[in-house]
């Protein structure tokens, strides 16, 4: 059974005069331990999708099942919290998701909300900071850290709640290249070493390539779903959806267009021909 499953999920922003449909019948399923990149240009509905999975928004139509429990409007607060605990979320702006004035207090915020024993919180906080490599900064003030470091603290805050899945909503978009590398490294580590399911919402192709699976959403609909190799092979389609492709892929596609052979055998033949002429 998939860990998260959506069936015909639709969402419309209810504005009285002008309802804005954002998602149309999205049916996707994610297995435990998967690393999935969700691609789409701005306004494609990918962030809305994330907010639906985290129960921040409520679906207009369709169903969501998380870890065997279906999400519906009549859930009690305790049940909602239990589901939110399973699916953590890291947002785009590193500044706007840190609550406390000391790093370790911020990491403790989630477990504190869950009513966990102080000794256990301490243990989880230390472990979470260790995983994201920020143990040395436990007593620092968040506003003095770099963007990448703040984002790692935000990740630690989510890990401390022991989620099964973490949603990254363009979490690297506001970072410099170095911060981006730090965060991506942490994300991969979480997936490979902790077995956490990762849903990475992004429009950075070089990040998407690192996933096991790429889902392309455009205009609120799933347009492509497959391994990075399968998805990025469709260069023309991606361009038509207003998305770029990873630089290496683009290079390969352009070389192919200008008649440069690409497979090893073809390449070897081409080199041989070039030497012979």
Partner 1 sequence: MLKDITLGQYFPGNSLLHKLDPRMKLILTLLYIVTIFFANNLITVAILTLAAFLLVPLGQIPMKTVLKSLKPLRWIILFTTVLNLFWVKDGKQLVDFYFIDIYSGGIVYAASMALRVTALLAGTTLLISYTTSPIALTDGLEQMLSPLKKIKVPVHEFAMMMTIALRFIPTLIEETDKIMSAQKARGADFETGSLLSRAKALIPIFIPLFVSAIRRADDLATAMECRCYHGGTGRTRMNRLHYSLRDLFALLCFLLFMAGIIALRWAPLPAFLGI
Residues that bind partner 1 (CB under 8 A): 51, 54, 56, 77, 81, 84-85, 88-89, 91, 93, 95-102, 104-105, 108-118, 121-122, 125, 141-143, 157-158, 161
How far is residue 28's CA from residue 220's CA, in Å, rounded to a whole number? 13
DSSP 3-state of 217: strand
Closest CA to 36 of 178, 130, 167: 167
Q: How far is the CB of 97 from partner 1 (least distance, A)?
A: 4
Q: How far is the CB of 44 from partner 1 (least distance, A)?
A: 19
Q: How far is the CB of 255 from partner 1 (least distance, A)?
A: 43
How far is residue 183's CA from residue 208's CA, in Å, rounded to a whole number? 14
**In terms of CB distance, is 11 or 232 closer to partner 1?**
11
Q: How far is the CB of 251 from partner 1 (least distance, A)?
A: 37
Please, are residues 124 and 162 in contact by the beta-carbon 8 Å criterion?
yes
Q: What is the DSSP letter of 59?
A: -
Closest CA to 196 of 166, 167, 169, 152: 166
DSSP 3-state of 67: coil
Q: ∠ CA 106-110-113 to the nearest 5 degrees?
A: 120
Phi/psi class of residue 215: alpha, beta or left (left: φ > 0; alpha: ψ in -120 to 50)?
beta
**In terms of CB distance, is 114 or 270 closer to partner 1?**
114
Q: How far is the CB of 155 from partner 1 (least distance, A)?
A: 12
**In terms of CB distance, is 113 or 273 closer to partner 1?**
113
Structure tokens at 85: 């605990």
Q: How far is the CB of 195 from partner 1 (least distance, A)?
A: 21
Strand partners, 36: 199, 213
Contacts of 42 (CB under 8 A, 6+ apart): 203
**In terms of CB distance, is 81 or 244 closer to partner 1?**
81
Q: How far is the CB of 95 from partner 1 (least distance, A)?
A: 5
Contacts of 249 (CB under 8 A, 6+ apart): 205, 232, 235
**In terms of CB distance, is 45 or 111 closer to partner 1?**
111
Look-up of token digits 């921040």: 56
């Amino acid at each position: 059974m998939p860990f998260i499953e959506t069936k015909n999920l639709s969402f419309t922003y209810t504005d009285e005069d002008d309802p804005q449909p954002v998602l149309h019948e999205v049916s996707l399923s994610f297995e435990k331990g998967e690393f999935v990149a969700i691609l789409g240009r701005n306004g494609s509905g990918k962030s809305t999708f994330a907010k639906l999975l985290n129960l921040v928004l409520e679906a207009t139509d369709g169903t969501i099942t998380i870890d065997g429990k279906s999400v519906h409007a009549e859930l009690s607060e305790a049940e909602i919290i239990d589901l939110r605990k399973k699916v953590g979320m890291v947002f785009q702006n590193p500044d706007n998701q840190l609550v406390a004035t000391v790093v370790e207090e911020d990491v403790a915020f989630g477990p504190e909300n869950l009513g966990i024993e102080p000794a256990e919180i301490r243990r989880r906080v230390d472990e979470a900071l260790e995983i994201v490599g920020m143990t040395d900064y436990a007593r620092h003030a968040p506003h003095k850290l770099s963007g990448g470091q703040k984002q790692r603290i935000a990740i630690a805050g989510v890990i401390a709640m022991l989620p099964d899945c973490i949603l990254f909503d363009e979490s690297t978009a506001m970072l410099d290249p170095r911060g981006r590398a730090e965060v991506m490294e942490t994300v991969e580590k979480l997936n490979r070493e902790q077995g956490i399911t990762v849903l990475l919402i992004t429009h950075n192709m070089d990040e998407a390539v690192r996933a096991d699976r790429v889902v392309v959403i455009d205009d609120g609909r799933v347009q492509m779903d497959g391994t990075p190799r399968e998805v990025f092979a469709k260069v023309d389609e991606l361009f038509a959806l207003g998305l770029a492709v990873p630089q290496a892929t683009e290079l390969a596609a352009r070389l192919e267009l200008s008649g440069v052979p690409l497979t090893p055998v073809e390449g070897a033949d081409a080199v041989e021909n070039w030497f012979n002429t």
